[in-house]
Amino acid sequence: MRIRLRGGRVLDPANRENAVARDVEFVDGRVVAPTGERADAEYELGGAIVMAGGIDLHSHIAGGKMNLARLLMQEDRRAYPEKILPQMSGSFCGCGGGRAVPTAHATGCRYAELGYTTVFEPAMLGANARAAHLEMADIPNLDTGAYLVLGNDDFILRQIAQGAPQEEINAYVGWMLKATQAFAIKIVNPGGINAFKFNARKLDLDEANPHYEVTPRKVLTTLIRAVTELGVPHPIHLHGCNLGVPGNDETTLATIAATEGRRLHLTHLQFHSYGTEGDRRFSSAAARIAEMVNANPNISVDVGQVMFGQTVTASADYMSQYRNRGLANPKKSIGMDIELDAGCGVVPFEYRDKNFVNALQWAIGLELFLLVEDPWRIFLTTDHPNGGPFTTYPHLIRLLMDRDFRNAQLATLNKTAQAHTLLGQITREYSLEEIAILTRAAPARILGLADKGHLAPGAVADIAVHDENADREAMFSKAKLVFKDGRLIVRDGEVVDLAPGTTHVVRTEFDTAIEGKLDAWFDRTVGLKAKHFRLSDGELRGGRGPTVLNCVGGAS
């Protein structure tokens, strides 16, 4: 099946095409060089912008914590009922609803309407991997993948405490990536979630875990080395220590220094950029942190922008979520210690524009976006749903691209917060090309997805078309056309078809001698056999299995 998009303007930063007027052609789900051959379908675009499908590298879309959030926040579900899809003959596809914690179908449909075609769940627990994959299989229109949370599991903390050689740690990481069908390694509050199980209420970068006497710094550097040596494309995806704590700017700066030049991704950096200046002992450290990010090309970040309104926060960081549960709105929260593995905390939250802290959080996020210079090392996220639902992305894009709009919003916020941010003085406006880098080209590059995030021949035909509009929020709210693997799934902002996605996983080489130790560990300690913990390929995507990226290791 050959499909041709005529008269569009191609925005493909990976191939240095900035709104180049040319046709785009794809055959059986892959982009090809334009030909003169007869196409099975042609779409006249009238100058609309053509980009690769969006890629979100950090959005909580599946797994036990999302189901706990759904259970706790039934009001979110009731407030956002099923959306009827008129172009699908009004048929009820079981798509459910919800905004902060949408159902699997609603997640796939709402993302597709925005032009996104690939989304990564950034915090899958090994113990919950089977459930997370079952849930991802039910998300239509999106390719997915998941980062495995490591670094709070008792197995690796024991390894590190006992001085296990790096090769043995690498073997464990390689085995776990395969067993849980994961795409990268995430560390959440390194060792802190574990320390909370021993009643520690905080854990700084150089503070020893009360039981293992291992520091977060050691956990971090050990796992950075593991993924580097195994050749996992995405660097360690780090949710650092002291999330949300004023003064955590020092921790963040020390964490960057701790990498000693090795690659590291700092996620939802906004929540880790808080100083202690001023009467309220809460201030923006965005400028200091952006400066350090700019100076360290080994560092990439996503922002975790706060967007005003009701949401629910769901995190593996039970230590931090327990600390913050007094702020819950509505007043209820769930916490859980999980399987010698990690934990989770679910706390509903309403970010209010008249609240000093919330307003400053909003400003800090935008400061980071505007002060980090290299668009290839910063990614557009709200840490969905923790800073706000992903459906607020178009609004966020306008805040980045339209200074007047941004300053008008700023002027409505809490007055004290306005006085504590330099946002009003920042003149930068993102260009369309930069937005395309943040939302497609750069995520594909940092994830190692060679056939995504661009439109050169051979690329997956995941394509989003947007009509040009000076109101960037309107422009990005509704894609004109979206193709998933070459199949039309969205027309004029409405879902018209449900395409099955795939799930990306990585595989590394590892020394299988680790299996004997893991068999004993799971059997005697966890109380579940390693062979039952492990997922087979056939358990993914309803039997279709994963899309495997084989890693080439050896680097150090």
Cβ atoms within 10 Å, residue 202: 15
- Rounded to a whole number of angstroms, the minimum distance from the CB of residue 108 to another protein is 12
Q: 42 vs 82, which CB is nearer to another protein?
A: 82
The H or E element that residue 187 is part of is: strand 184-188
For CA atoms 525, 527, 531, 536, the dihedral sign is: negative
- Site residues for another protein, 433-462, by CB under 8 A, read none
Binding flag, residue 8, another protein (CB under 8 A): no
**Alpha-carbon separation of residue 244 from 43, 202, 247, 319, 324 (angstroms):** 48, 12, 9, 11, 9
Contact indicator for 181, 546 with CB cutoff of 8 Å? yes
Q: What is the 3-state secondary structure (H, E, C) of 499-537?
A: CECCEEEEECCCCCCHHHHHHHHHHHHHCCCHHHHCCCH
The H or E element that residue 51 is part of is: strand 49-52
* Binding window for another protein (CB under 8 A); candidates: 26-34, 85-93, 367-375, 508-516: 85-93
The H or E element that residue 31 is part of is: strand 30-32
Q: If phi over 0 gives left and psi between -120 and 50 gives alpha, with beta otherwise, what is residue 486? A: left
Q: 97 vs 246, which CB is nearer to another protein?
A: 97
Where are any strands of DSSP class E within 304-374? 309-315, 334-338, 342-351
What the block records as the tokens of 35 is 């030909």
Contact indicator for 218, 271 with CB cutoff of 8 Å? no
Question: What is the spatial distance between Cα 120 and Cα 265, in angstroms, rounded to a whole number?
Answer: 14
Binding flag, residue 162, another protein (CB under 8 A): no
Q: 12 vs 76, which CB is nearer to another protein?
A: 76
Q: 45 vs 127, which CB is nearer to another protein?
A: 127
Chosen residue from 335, 493, 500, 553 binding another protein by CB under 8 A: 335
Question: What is the spatial distance between Cα 35 and Cα 38, in angstroms, rounded to a whole number?
Answer: 9
Residue type, 416: T
Q: 64 vs 365, which CB is nearer to another protein?
A: 64
Contact indicator for 389, 311 with CB cutoff of 8 Å? yes
Binding flag, residue 187, another protein (CB under 8 A): no
Residue type, 227: V
Question: What is the spatial distance between Cα 150 and Cα 160, in angstroms, rounded to a whole number?
Answer: 13
- Site residues for another protein, 92-131, by CB under 8 A, read 92-94, 96-98, 101-106, 125, 127-128, 130-131
Binding flag, residue 322, another protein (CB under 8 A): yes
- Site residues for another protein, 16-75, by CB under 8 A, read 62, 64, 66-68, 70-72, 74
Q: 164 vs 292, which CB is nearer to another protein?
A: 164
Task: Rounding to the nearest 10 degrees, give the CA dihedral for residues 126, 132, 134, 139.
Answer: -150
Q: 257 vs 528, which CB is nearer to another protein?
A: 528
**Alpha-carbon separation of residue 290 from 188, 246, 253, 270, 440 (angstroms):** 21, 17, 10, 11, 22
- Rounded to a whole number of angstroms, the minimum distance from the CB of residue 182 to another protein is 16
Q: 68 vs 359, which CB is nearer to another protein?
A: 68
**Which residues lie closer than 8 Å to 536 by C-beta, 6 or more apart?**
none
Q: 139 vs 364, which CB is nearer to another protein?
A: 139
Contact indicator for 123, 57 with CB cutoff of 8 Å? no
Binding flag, residue 346, another protein (CB under 8 A): yes
- Rounded to a whole number of angstroms, the minimum distance from the CB of residue 389 to another protein is 14
Binding flag, residue 297, another protein (CB under 8 A): no
Nearest to 219 by CA among 234, 198, 204: 204
- Rounded to a whole number of angstroms, the minimum distance from the CB of residue 473 to another protein is 26
* Binding window for another protein (CB under 8 A); candidates: 112-120, 340-348, 385-393, 459-467: 340-348
Q: 119 vs 269, which CB is nearer to another protein?
A: 119
Q: 93 vs 450, which CB is nearer to another protein?
A: 93
- Rounded to a whole number of angstroms, the minimum distance from the CB of residue 178 to another protein is 16
- Site residues for another protein, 196-255, by CB under 8 A, read 196-199, 211
Question: What is the spatial distance between Cα 516 and Cα 159, in angstroms, rounded to a whole number?
Answer: 14
Binding flag, residue 506, another protein (CB under 8 A): no
Chosen residue from 336, 488, 496, 548 binding another protein by CB under 8 A: 336
Binding flag, residue 391, another protein (CB under 8 A): no
Chosen residue from 21, 411, 528, 552 binding another protein by CB under 8 A: 528
- Rounded to a whole number of angstroms, the minimum distance from the CB of residue 333 to another protein is 4
- Rounded to a whole number of angstroms, the minimum distance from the CB of residue 348 to another protein is 9
Q: 24 vs 334, which CB is nearer to another protein?
A: 334
Task: Give the binding site for another protein (CB under 8 A).
Answer: 62, 64, 66-68, 70-72, 74, 77-78, 81-82, 84, 90, 92-94, 96-98, 101-106, 125, 127-128, 130-131, 134-135, 138, 154, 196-199, 211, 322, 328, 331-341, 346, 523-529, 531-532, 536, 539
